[in-house]
A and B are shown apart, each in its own frame.
Chain A
Amino acid sequence: MAGKRYIMNAGRTTKQGQQINVGKDHAEYQAIVGTLNMHPDDMKEAGIVSGGTVRVRSDNGEATFLCKEGKIPRGMIFVPYGPPTCRLMGQTTDGTGMPTSKGWEVEVEPIAAE
């Protein structure tokens, strides 16, 4: 990865927790886990429009998300845990049994609308 790196912070939200119990096949769940939040200035700098699609790359894989502005510190991305974050997550546990689920370095690039 050669572009600007952001720290990806995956976590839980109330809506995501509710939707897990409603059903992971619902469109609402897919939308929640497929949407990331960034600082508005970071989005402007990277040329991303609110609601636009972005490709996120980590050392382990890549996934696409919708990108929205959020109350997030600059240089950081927040996204609720879900199948897309599984593709980016660290694959080793450093001997702890627990994968690194937060604080990955990732690249973000906008995908032009077709």
Chain B
Amino acid sequence: MTCTLGEVKNRADFIIYWGGNPAECHPRHFTKYTIMQKGKFVPNRKARTMVLVDIRETPSAKASDIFLQITPGKDFEVITTLRALVKGQRVNLDLVAETGLTIEQLQDLVDRMKKARFGVLFFGMGLSMTRGKHMNSAAVLALAAEMNAFTKFVAMPMRGHGNVTGADVVLRYTTGYPFGINMCRGYPRFNPGEFSTVDLLVRGDNDAALILGADPGATMPQPGIDHLARIPTIVLDPKVTHTSRLSRVHITTAATGISAPGTVYRMDEIPLPLRPPLKSPYPSDEEVIRRIHQAVAKRPGWRPTLNGKAMR
């Protein structure tokens, strides 16, 4: 139940940002795709309504028509109430009061959503990385799906950082799964919580790490960072990062999009080719990985042994 950002730009007349702060974290989102763009069927800013749902008044609130400040950790309850109101079901007013909003505010939001010609709900880390996590995301997707009984409505995650969407997309079309994949048996197995990076590192399950274009040394829980310092860690990055400092090997690579070509996936999963304007003395990530792969392929294959004899 999603669409491209081009459709949002040309058609969306009702835009909700939930648990995100695009004014600071996606500074081009307003101007390139949503409220500040002249779309084919939405000629100006007045033709669009923007609602911001968050637990604090961020700089994005200034750009919104309606700001709904909810109690921290009550996202799931608010979404579930909205789903009930969309279907005309009764809701418990005492539980609604705990969300920090009134039933009138929620009913007004539902009425506006139903009147929209094309609604879009962008949800950020304030929804997916707080209490409820994937259940919050699932509830938002269900709300968007149910809204299609009344009007066109879609939902899209506000992906952050460079090309995280690309990592998901490529892993999906190569293995069938987006992340948390174990290839130890020669075929992909998917189990978030068991094979996902944070869990592996915090438990100390892995005995080596190759870090590509990321800085877990500055972003992950401390026990995971401590484990990276204990094991042989190799980092590929254009800059020296916190992870570089705790790694055994840092390989400087060219910056993709600036001095190395490649493909980046936009948050709506549209692939965009990159043409680097500069040349770099450093190899690209792809070249380094290819050379490591070739070197590893020359070594004899590993076979499990039992009592000193190779197993068949």
Contacts and interface: CB of A to CB of B under 8 A. Distances in A.
Interface string A1-34: 0000001010111100100000111000000000
Given A23-B239, A24-B242, A102 B21 contact: no
B219 interface: yes
B263 interface: no
A86 interface: yes
Contacts of A17: 24-25
Most chain B Cβ neighbours within 10 Å, of A92, A95, A102:
A102
Nearest to A91: B221
Contact of B196 (A73, A90, A97): A97
A97 to B, nearest CB: 3
Interface stretch (A40-48, A77-85, A106-114): A77-85
B8 to A, nearest CB: 22
B129 A89 contact: no
Contact of A73 (B27, B55, B197, B219): B55
B189 interface: no
Contact of A92 (B202, B220, B241): B202
Contacts of B193: 93-97
B265 interface: no
Interface in B130-180: 130-131, 133-134, 160, 179-180
Interface string B69-94: 10011000000000000000000000
B180 A97 contact: yes
A98 B130 contact: no
A102 B198 contact: no
B192 A101 contact: no
B95 interface: no
A103 B131 contact: yes
A76 B100 CA distance: 14
B125 interface: yes
Interface string B188-213: 00001100111100100000000000
A51 interface: no
Contacts of B221: 60, 86, 89-91, 99
A100 B72 contact: no
A82 B218 contact: yes
A14 B129 contact: no
Contacts of B180: 97
B56 A86 contact: no
B126 interface: yes
B72 A9 contact: yes
Interface in B13-39: 21, 24-25, 27
Given A82-B218, A83-B218, A96-B193, A103 B56 contact: no
Nearest to A63: B222
B57 interface: yes
Contacts of A81: 219
Contact of A102 (B129, B217, B218): B129
Given A14-B24, A89-B222, A100-B130, 18 more contacts: A12-B21, A14-B25, A71-B57, A76-B56, A78-B56, A81-B219, A83-B242, A86-B220, A87-B222, A90-B221, A91-B222, A96-B134, A96-B192, A96-B193, A97-B180, A98-B133, A98-B192, A103-B72
Closest 9 CB pairs between A and B? A97-B196, A95-B193, A97-B192, A101-B129, A102-B130, A91-B221, A103-B130, A14-B24, A89-B221
